[in-house]
Amino acid sequence: MRAIQVSEHGGPEVLRYVEVPDPQVGDGQLLVRTEAAGINFIDTYIRTGRYPTPVPYIPGSEGSGVVTAVGADVTDFQVGDRVAWAAGPGSYAEQVIVPAAVAIPVPDGVNAEIAASALLQGMTAHYLIESIYKPQPGEAVLVHAGAGGVGLILTQLLSSRGVRVITTVSTDDKEKLSRDAGASEVLRYDGDIAARVRELTGGVGVAAAYDGVGASTFEASLASTRIRGMVALFGGASGPVPPFDLQRLNPLGSLFVTRPTLAHYTRDRAELLWRANDIMNAIADGTLHLRIGGSYPLADAAQAHRDLEGRKTTGSIVLVP
């Protein structure tokens, strides 16, 4: 089959389109013909070696497709089922081995590209607002990168609950997308974000800051958050946050800071299905609109990574074999 392979860590150019042996299904696994693979920022951290991974490897943890074979002990899925996954390594490929334990049925009416990019970003938004800090209607929160994949989903889910969402974005086009998703106020990074947030919240600050941008925004997140509020640092699109002195949380307002990862919020099949089905069902019934900001041929994975890292993308982006 054709796949993208990384043989040494580095820039987007290390994503090579190659011929590799077809994968063989084993016990507890599904063999899936990939219809689309979701691209996530974490794929860039792994590619550069920031998150250590042995080479060679096929990138991509997320996708959707049709089951073509099932392992001997698989009972929940059969050949022909449409499935999606967010924890199956090797998704930038024409065929993927998906452990049945992480496969999610795709509801009718959810197309392959949407299904391929819904789960990783969607379940991240889900755990951030259900399990880390669940804002109440009327409360204000800060969401960085408001026009990105996670950002647009967070904004829609929160604003539909009556939460006041303040976002940050870098361009006019992204501002429009963020407002259309339900943001009440959209800020740029170059101003004093915390001062603007304080102004907008009568000096109080936001109940929670959801920060996937990291290095360039973390200080603003801390300074924007109200007494006893929550700062959820869930990524570092601008780079990792330097070491942090916990004593600083005291004068800042007895703040909570967490650095979560999706795997710890999908610890068993029941928790995975709760989050995945909530997201898939919200898409299927039209309450959550997932924006596919770019669809690239599989062979163009390097260009897709360039665009993601170059802040040229909006919403979710996918590769199509």
Question: With respect to ligand NDP, which residue has the nearer C-beta, 23 or 146?
Answer: 146
Residues binding ligand NDP (CB under 6 A): 40-42, 120-121, 124, 145, 147-151, 169-170, 174, 212-213, 216, 234-238, 260-262, 309, 311, 313
Shortest reach from residue 164's CB to ligand NDP, in Å: 19
Shortest reach from residue 91's CB to ligand NDP, in Å: 14
Shortest reach from residue 186's CB to ligand NDP, in Å: 10
Q: Which two tokens stand for residue 248?
A: 């600083």
Compute the CA torsion angle 69, 71, 74, 80 (nearest 10 deg).
0
Q: How far apart are CA 177 and CA 183, in angstroms?
A: 9
Shortest reach from residue 48's CB to ligand NDP, in Å: 12
Shortest reach from residue 158's CB to ligand NDP, in Å: 15
Question: With respect to ligand NDP, which residue has the nearer C-beta, 253 or 260?
Answer: 260
Question: With respect to ligand NDP, which residue has the nearer C-beta, 62 or 67?
Answer: 62
Cis ω for the linkage preceding 297 (within 30 of 0): no
Q: How far apart are CA 149 and CA 313, in angstroms?
A: 9
Q: How far apart are CA 271 and CA 165, in angstroms?
A: 26
Question: With respect to ligand NDP, which residue has the nearer C-beta, 161 or 311?
Answer: 311
Q: How far apart are CA 178 and CA 181, in angstroms?
A: 5
Question: With respect to ligand NDP, which residue has the nearer C-beta, 95 or 313?
Answer: 313
Shortest reach from residue 204's CB to ligand NDP, in Å: 25
Specify whether the CB–CB gap between 260 and 132 falls below 8 A. Answer: yes
Q: How far apart are CA 307 and CA 310, in angstroms?
A: 5
User: What's CA 167's distance to the chain center, in Å?
Assistant: 16
Specify whether the CB–CB gap between 231 and 260 falls below 8 A. Answer: no
Specify whether the CB–CB gap between 60 and 39 falls below 8 A. Answer: yes
Question: With respect to ligand NDP, which residue has the nearer C-beta, 123 or 223?
Answer: 123
